[in-house]
Amino acid sequence: MSKYYVNKFLFTVDRNPEYLQRYKEDPRSFVATWEQSIGPCLNEVERFTVNGFTPEEREALINHDYVALFEMGAHFFLSLTIFIAIYDEDYMRRNGPLSFQREFAARLQHWNGKDYPTVAL
């Protein structure tokens, strides 16, 4: 269930500019808020209360640790787009276009040539 919840975090935050800003600026506080009040929402009225992060998942999200998220089987597309939103502009200013995306790839090189962790739920 929690792998689903990690994907739900990435999905809901990536598509909401206010959440994204809060996740970028103060990830520890935002992850706690999300887990308590945003994640359980099914709609404006209904709540689903049985999901939660494992300690490892929570720390990976707090630390923007996309390597750990990849290794846990978080969906690659959700993980890539949210961290591009957070880091791409700063990297581009310092090191040019695609420098964040290439660093992302470089930090995952230990998986090259191996079967990746499955993103199936």
Partner 1 sequence: MATLAAVLATTHHPFYLKATTAPVEEQIPQAAEWKRKVEAYRETLTRAEPDILVMVGADHFHQFFLDNYPTFLIGKAARYDATFYNEEREFGLPKYVLEGHEDLSRFMHQGLMDRGFDFSFSHELKIDHSIICPIITTRPQADLPIVPIYTNIFAPPLPSPRRFWELGRAIREVIDAYPSDKRIAAVGSGHLSLELGGPRQFGEHGPDPEFDVKAIEWLANGDIDAILENVTHESMSRSGNATHGFMDLILMMGIAGPQHKAAHVDSLDLFHTREAYLTWYPEEGRA
**Residues interacting with partner 1, by CB under 8 A?**
4, 7-8, 11, 14-17, 42, 66, 70, 75-81, 84-85, 98, 101-102, 104-105, 108-112, 115-116, 118-121
Q: How far is the CB of 78 from partner 1 (least distance, A)?
A: 6
Q: Within a 13 Å sphere around the CA of 6, how many CA atoms are in the beta-carbon half?
A: 31
Of 38 and 111, the one with the shorter C-beta distance to partner 1 is 111
Rounded to an integer, what distance in angstroms lies between the CA atom of residue 96 and that of residue 106? 16
Q: How far is the CB of 32 from partner 1 (least distance, A)?
A: 22
Q: How far is the CB of 93 from partner 1 (least distance, A)?
A: 14
Q: Are 52 and 58 in contact (CB under 8 A)?
A: no
Of 49 and 118, the one with the shorter C-beta distance to partner 1 is 118
CA–CA distances in Å: residue 18 to residues 12, 22, 62, 73: 11, 6, 17, 26
What one-letter code names the amino acid at 20? L
Beta bridge partners of 41: 47
Of 28 and 57, the one with the shorter C-beta distance to partner 1 is 57
